[in-house]
Amino acid sequence: MSIAAFASLSVVGPGLLTLGIWTLVRRQWYDGVPLAEVLIDRAAGIEPPQRTASDRAFARFHAWASVVFGSFFTLCLCAVLFSSFSE
């Protein structure tokens, strides 16, 4: 396996897993505003709009998808590490 693939698995897997768990534990999906939206609104000089039910539903889906994909990529990283050390 190449160094770039190993490095990306090392960052993406635990990173997504941590992001998803942090979002769910802190309930950021309920009131949190994405950073890109905050930056755009500040540049335009307006306040970010209130979160709607669909915003909250998508943010919750995004958090759970991060947990699922983060777990998958972390398991892939463990499999790569196991196969590398067993040779």
Are 29 and 23 in contact, with CB atoms under 8 Å apart? yes
pTM of the model: 0.78
C-alpha 57/C-alpha 52 separation (Å) is: 9
pLDDT in tens, 7-53: 888 999 999 999 999 988 988 778 777 778 889 999 999 988 888 89
Nearest to 13 by CA among 77, 81, 82, 56: 77
> Structural domain of residue 35, as residue ranges?
3-86
Q: Token match 């998808």: residue?
A: 65
Q: What are phi and psi of 5, to 5 degrees?
A: -65, -40
Q: How many domains does the chain have?
A: 1
How far apart are the C-alpha atoms of 61 and 32, rounded to whole Å?
14
